[in-house]
A and B are shown apart, each in its own frame.
Chain A
């Protein structure tokens, strides 16, 4: 059977679908001002690259790319982005004089050179394909394993040492020096009592939020015995946001009910007389 479009293969389809996606994602990565957007765009690039690996008879790398790269490494980046800079925007103003133009020119120059070099260089003919190489040990993964644990075993072991060193290094870098002695519970109790003696600060826990007949959310202030509001019973953040419920409003139905009840009592007593 002669195919309708004889030269189009699955590989080509994958390429023409994924290549634009990856380029667009890369451009989004480059141009977006929020780090989180850049990271997500990067995930797009990596996944499309994974597909391209799969399209080139490299199923092992396809899996690795998704599991290790996109799944682990990129997620780690996301963690760090969340940790330190989710709100930070890159400023539009370039601080280094002429840097943006120079950097663009260099990048453009390198790109042109690379592309023209690749364009100059015609491979000639169809690729050999990995089918034969894969078939030798019964599949892509066994064949790669043969390479890794045979020809490249020392490199493999060296990379293991590298990973261990990196892990230790990360722990060393992340280790924060404790500058003060850790406060024990007893010390904290002492400090609280001392503060009470010196500044009159209340040593006990903060008052809990108010509990009303119909409401007990944390945005509801508690009432002191004299009927005034205990300021500390509501989180400052909520106070600043202005979401604290007005106590009088809350008390209104109760007051109404009490008034009604009192009116009724008066009525009944009046009947008795």
Chain B
């Protein structure tokens, strides 16, 4: 089948991920939204790889996963550290980055 369907699905998922990141206050959920966006791009990568008959798209998706794994490790560690010091997982509570 044509890749357009996959691409549209990818766009929809990406949009939902973006909305989740902007709207949800729980740090874990916001983080998961990022994962959702990464997955959406992965889907696009795979679709394009298949369309072009080229494995490079799969390799790119693979690396996205690797980077996502590293990011998750650090991100969750940060969330846990923040939670330990402020008893909260809400991104709104970590708002010291202002005057």
Contacts and interface: CB of A to CB of B under 8 A. Distances in A.
Interface of A: 9, 11-12, 15, 19, 22-23, 26-27, 29-30, 35, 38-39, 42, 45-46, 49, 52-53, 56-58, 60-61, 64-65, 68-69, 72-74, 76-77, 80-81, 83-85, 88, 90-91, 95-96, 99-100, 103-104, 106-108, 110-111, 114-115, 117-119, 122-123, 126-130, 132-134, 143-144, 147-148, 151-152, 155, 159, 162-163, 165-167, 169-170, 173-174, 176
Interface size class of B (residues with CB under 8 A): 35 or more
Instruction: Name which of A60, A126, A127, A176 has the most chain B CB atoms within 10 A of its CB.
Output: A127
A176 B84 contact: yes
Interface SS of chain B: helix
A208 B36 CA distance: 52
Interface of B: 1-9, 11-20, 22-26, 28-29, 31-32, 35-36, 39, 42-43, 46-47, 49-56, 58-59, 61-63, 65-74, 76-81, 83-84, 89-90, 92
Contacts of B76: 76-77, 80, 170
Contact of A144 (B31, B50, B58, B77): B58
Contacts of B79: 80, 84
